[in-house]
Amino acid sequence: MLALLALLPVYALLHGRIGKLSALLFPSADLARAAGAAARAAVGRLMLFLRLLTVGLCIVALAGPRFANDRTETQASGIDIMLVLDLSWSMAALDMGGEHERVSRFDIASEVLEDFVRKRPSDRLGLIVFSAVPYLASPLTLNHDWLVENLHRLHVGIIRDLGTAIGDATAAGAKRLKGIKDSKSRIMILLTDGDNNRGDIDPVPAAQLAAALGIKVYTIGIGIEQPCILPVFDPGTGKLQLDANGNTIPGITLQPANYEVLGKMAALSRAKFYRATNRRDLLRIYNEIDRLEKTEIKLRRFTTFRPLFQWPLLAALGLFCLEMGLTNTRLRRIP
């Protein structure tokens, strides 16, 4: 339709050059002379311009102009992930930080966990913390800001029951994941720094239960491979206690844990076992799990259109009315 606009210059060029010439009979040359002096030379060009503009706007309206609004809709098939975090008192050890850092195992673990949560916006994540007993810190949710807020409230010592109940915590995580009916995929990430020494369920049977429910259990053992000192801290706040010189007060000596059972747990569910002795190792582990457990995301792109033909059509109608008004009033012509 827009190709018709090319005919308008042709029409303007041929206008007045083809066809019969108009003529009027005057009884006297004086009358013709007076009429010619009063004629407006530009009137013809103005009326031609208005006519061409009106036709041009009609052609634009017939071409169907419209406004396109492109939109993308995301459909994510998320994974349900239960984070199981050891909060026993040994997590206050300072062996995973730098030489002059006073950061505990728990500080590093919570920092890396938060980074992992931020990378999984389409997945439901939950958090279970445990010492001698497991506690639900956050149910499975897409509200990750709320989960991170609850993570920030935790500290070593908030659970006063001493010990490490790995089996009970794993069973609690499996129970929570089992309750999600529309789950596409279920995984559990268990982080601990000790041996199972409390609870009613052993770790291996708990991992067998999780595997039977289709849950993959990734296990992470943290801490250095040699004895380290657990500094004295305030269980009410989790903060380290310092001497008069500002140095940490040494407490009991921690022995390295035996993580053989964690490897068995991961193997039962066809997952992986990892060891981390510093922040870099732990960050690398969670990044690897993030790559292994990808969320399927589908994108639908569609376009909606809003018609705009009425605006050039209204403009053409206005110009046509203007032309008719001028033709029949001030610029009225003699036939």
* Position 229 pLDDT exceeds 80: yes
How far from chain centre, in Å, is Cα 77?
Answer: 14
| Average pLDDT over all residues of the chain | 86
Q: Of 25, 18, 65, nearest to 312 (Cα)?
A: 65
**Which of 66-70, 86-90, 135-139, 260-264 is predicted least confidently?**
66-70
Predicted confidence at residue 37, as pLDDT, reads 47
pLDDT for residue 77: 61
Whether the predicted pLDDT of 65 surpasses 60: yes
Dihedral of alpha carbons 77, 190, 211, 139, sign: negative
3-class secondary structure, 138: strand
| Span 306-335, pLDDT tens digits | 888 888 889 889 888 887 887 777 766 655
Convert the pLDDT of each residue in 302-314 to its tens digit: 678 888 888 888 9
pLDDT in tens, 129-177: 999 999 999 999 999 999 999 999 999 999 989 999 999 999 999 999 9
What percent of the chain lies above the pLDDT cut of 90? 53
> Which range has the worst mean pLDDT, 46-60, 79-93, 143-157?
46-60
Q: Output the pLDDT for position 334.
A: 55
- Dihedral sign from CA coordinates of 205, 206, 209, 214: negative
Strand locations in 170-320 (E): 186-192, 215-222, 228-231, 250-254, 273-276, 296-307
pLDDT bucket at 201, cuts 50 / 70 / 90: very high
What integer pLDDT is reported at residue 159 of this predicted model? 93
Higher-confidence residue of 1 and 267: namely: 267
Contact 24, 31 (CB under 8 A): no
CA dist., res. 58 & res. 64, Å (int): 10
State mean pLDDT over 44-69: 84
Residues in a beta bridge with 273: 219
- pTM, rounded to two decimals: 0.68
> Over 70: is that where the pLDDT of 218 sits?
yes
Domains of the chain from N-terminus onward? 2-14+24-65+308-327 (no CATH), 80-298 (3.40.50.410)
Q: Are 159 and 132 in contact (CB under 8 A)?
A: yes
Rounded to whole angstroms, the Cα distance separating 81 from 123 reads: 7
Question: Is 70 exceeded by the pLDDT of residue 279?
Answer: yes
Lowest mean pLDDT segment, chosen from 84-88, 207-211, 214-218, 294-298: 294-298
Please name which of 115, 109, 114, 112 lies closest in space to residue 85, comparing C-alpha atoms.
Answer: 109
